């Protein structure tokens, strides 16, 4: 059985990804930092579909904490390795840069960009040794187009996109693919406060996306049939920006 780690697996998009990967036969490791109840709910949903999973807790912006948790997982599973990593967890603190505080910048960079290194680095060696792996980074329209009020978030996601392209070239010979998925407006708790009626007028498909639609794309990239796709950023935004 292959093992997949989904950071931020208790959130809207993360939960959908966890459930979809479980249907592919992966043992899904549902990551959370604070909301354990949501992580357990995701795990229950996985099991109700006949899948397998477990939960794991750590702060993705804390390198020592991430390494400790993943090292403990490895000790408890000495003959196994995490072959699929979905870097999904993130945060935003929107503010025009003229008013932005240093902490608002640093915390968003730590959680969205530095976390990519924190989670990917300790898992990469096993992927290389086993000559198979899938790393999928959930980025954003903000990292491609840039959005006002999100200078920190746009910078972090653009950084992950650059890292995706570089790492793909480093590990491609080991049958490890590294790709990024850039959602537009997806109907989750994070977008509940947005005016969908107004914003959907900007979207050619004329609606917000569904978490399950993002999960389908991630599932494809996590499988064998995507083995010739690497270093790519795939938009899923209803035609909002291409």
Active site residues: 153
Alpha carbons 54 and 82: distance in angstroms, whole number: 13
Hey, what are 85's tokens? 């990593």
Alpha carbons 36 and 26: distance in angstroms, whole number: 21
Alpha carbons 124 and 83: distance in angstroms, whole number: 9
**What is the CB neighbour count within 10 angstroms for residue 194?**
13
- Cβ burial of 79 (10 Å; 0-12, 13-18, 19+) is exposed
Bridge partner list, 178: 135
Hey, what are 104's tokens? 């608002």
Hey, what are 176's tokens? 């490890």
Please say whether the beta carbons of 99 and 148 come within 8 A.
Answer: no
């Amino acid at each position: 059985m292959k093992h997949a780690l989904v950071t931020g697996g208790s959130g809207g998009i993360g939960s959908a990804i966890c459930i979809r990967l479980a249907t592919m036969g992966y043992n899904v490791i549902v990551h959370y930092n604070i909301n354990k109840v949501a992580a357990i709910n995701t795990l229950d949903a996985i099991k109700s579909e006949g899948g397998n999973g477990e939960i794991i807790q750590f702060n993705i912006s804390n390198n020592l904490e991430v390494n400790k948790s993943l090292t403990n997982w490895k000790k408890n599973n000495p003959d196994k390795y995490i072959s699929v990593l979905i870097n999904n967890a993130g945060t935003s603190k929107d503010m025009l840069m003229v008013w932005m505080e240093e902490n608002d910048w640093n915390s968003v960079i730590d959680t969205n960009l530095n976390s990519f290194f924190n989670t990917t680095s300790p898992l990469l060696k096993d992927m290389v040794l086993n000559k198979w792996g899938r790393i999928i980074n959930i980025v954003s329209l903000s990292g491609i187009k840039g959005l006002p009020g999100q200078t920190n978030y746009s910078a972090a996601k653009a950084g992950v996109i650059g890292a995706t392209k570089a790492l793909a070239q480093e590990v491609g010979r080991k049958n490890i693919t590294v790709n990024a998925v850039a959602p537009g407006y997806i109907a989750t708790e994070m977008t509940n406060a947005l005016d969908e009626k107004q914003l959907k007028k900007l979207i050619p498909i004329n609606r917000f996306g569904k978490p399950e639609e993002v999960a389908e794309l991630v599932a494809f990239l996590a499988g064998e049939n995507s083995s010739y796709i690497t270093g790519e950023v795939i938009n899923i935004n209803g035609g909002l920006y291409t």
